[in-house]
Amino acid sequence: MFLTFLCRTLTRDVAKVSVGQHVQSLHTGCQLLAAEKALLMKLRKSTGYTFINCKKALEKFDNDVAQAETWLHEQAQKEGWSKANKLEGRKAKEGLIGVFVGDKAAVMVEVNCETDFVARNEKFQQLVKDVTFATLAHHRNKTQSQPGYVKSVLSSDDLSKLSVGEGTSLADQVALTIGHLGENMSLKRAVTVGIPAEWKIGSYVHGGISTQTEVAMGRYGALVIFQGGKEGEQEMLGRKLGQHIVGESPLSLGNMDDLPCGESETCLLPQTFLADPSRTVAQFLRGQQARVLDFVRFQCGETTEDAE
């Protein structure tokens, strides 16, 4: 009788200990899962990579976020170059023109992709921004000791060699973006200008993206270099001239005294002014006490022959 009672008591106590240990184990397990989930969310947010890849990276490096992030970038770079090589032959005629006007310097770039859908993606727009600022940095390094007006045109090969961030080349950055978005992309061209103190730079981008403020982006862009203009109205003057250049596609500057040739006119100054059809561009400039010295127009997807 006593033995039966003792056995039942021991069994009950063992069961309590077992359940207690199980509950404690579950609690500890839940804490670990919560901590791992927090790390996973942090890595996902900082890198933008998939949950599966982030989980794989954390498992590989025992939840070391820094090592996991480095590994993810390395894998993405490899995958990007692999995809870039596979997609190399596909046409990329969509994309964006990026324009930035700073203190006495301006940059305009063209970056291409395959579809308008990808051109609206934030990662692609970030690539355009990276290309713009890398080109601006290159311009400043190259021309810091050069006075007067300086204009440089950069080809696709020139752009690919430029660096962004911590020494990463723009070519690597393009491959990385291809890996993310799965379309062929290319750095088409860029132009940089630097001006003396008394000159002004006007700009205009058509089909602009409202979410981008640092770098203006759209399908068409123009830079116009001018002198003069009424005080307080020079920014608007530059915008109107840029708008005309985008809309009317002049091929050369022309002279202030040139006679207009109608709708077929390809010189800027004798063209009918878009903002005031009663006057030519030259007549408008006289009224503003200004003169245009140079201009550049980019249209996304146009051939080099079209731009010349």
**What value does the mean pLDDT take over residues 71-88?**
67
Residue 281 clears pLDDT 90, i.e. is over it: yes
Q: How confident is the model at residue 32 (pLDDT cuts 50, 70, 90)?
A: very low
So what's the pLDDT on residue 71?
A: 73
Query: Which tokens belong to 147?
Result: 């006075």
Q: Within 10 A of 219 (CB to CB), how many other CB atoms are there?
A: 21
Higher-confidence residue of 67 and 276: namely: 276
Report the pLDDT value the prediction gives residue 78, as an integer from 0 to 100. Answer: 66
Pairing of strands 168-169, 163-164: antiparallel
Torsional sign, CA 169, 171, 174, 179: negative
CB-based burial label for 45 (10 Å; 0-12, 13-18, 19+): exposed
Predicted pLDDT at 19: 42
Supply the pTM of this predicted model: 0.75
Mean pLDDT of 264-275: 92
Domains of the chain: 38-87 (1.10.8.10), 94-299 (3.30.479.20)
Which residues 6+ apart lie within 8 Å of 38 measured at CB?
Answer: none
pLDDT of residue 22: 44
130-168 pLDDT, tens digit each: 999 999 999 998 887 778 999 999 999 999 999 987 778
The confidence score (pLDDT) of residue 240 equals 97
Q: What is the pLDDT of residue 188?
A: 96
- pLDDT given at position 224: 98
Q: Compute the average pLDDT of residues 10-21.
A: 46
Q: Percentage of the chain surpassing pLDDT 70?
A: 80
**Nearest Cα to Cα of residue 238 among 93, 50, 64, 99:** 99
Whether 7 has a pLDDT exceeding 50, the answer reads: no
65 contact partners, CB below 8 Å, separation of at least 6: 39, 42, 43, 46, 58
Q: Which amino acid is at 235?
A: E
Beta bridge partner(s), residue 225:
201, 294
The pLDDT score that the predictor gives to residue 95 is 96
Distance, in Å, from the CA atom of 79 to the CA atom of 203, rounded to the nearest integer, reads: 38
**Residue 160 CB partners (closer than 8 Å, separation 6+):** 169, 170, 171, 174, 187
Give the residue, 60 or 197, on which the prediction is more confident.
Answer: 197
pLDDT score at 2: 46
Q: Is the pLDDT of residue 11 over 80?
A: no
Q: What is the pLDDT of residue 24?
A: 45
pLDDT (tens digit per residue) in 91-139: 889 999 999 999 899 999 999 999 999 999 999 999 999 999 999 999 9
Is residue 80 very low, low, confident or very high in pLDDT (cuts 50, 70, 90)? low
pLDDT at 227: 96
Higher pLDDT, 158 or 208: 158
CA distance 263 to 269: 13
233: how many CB neighbours lie within 10 A of its CB? 12
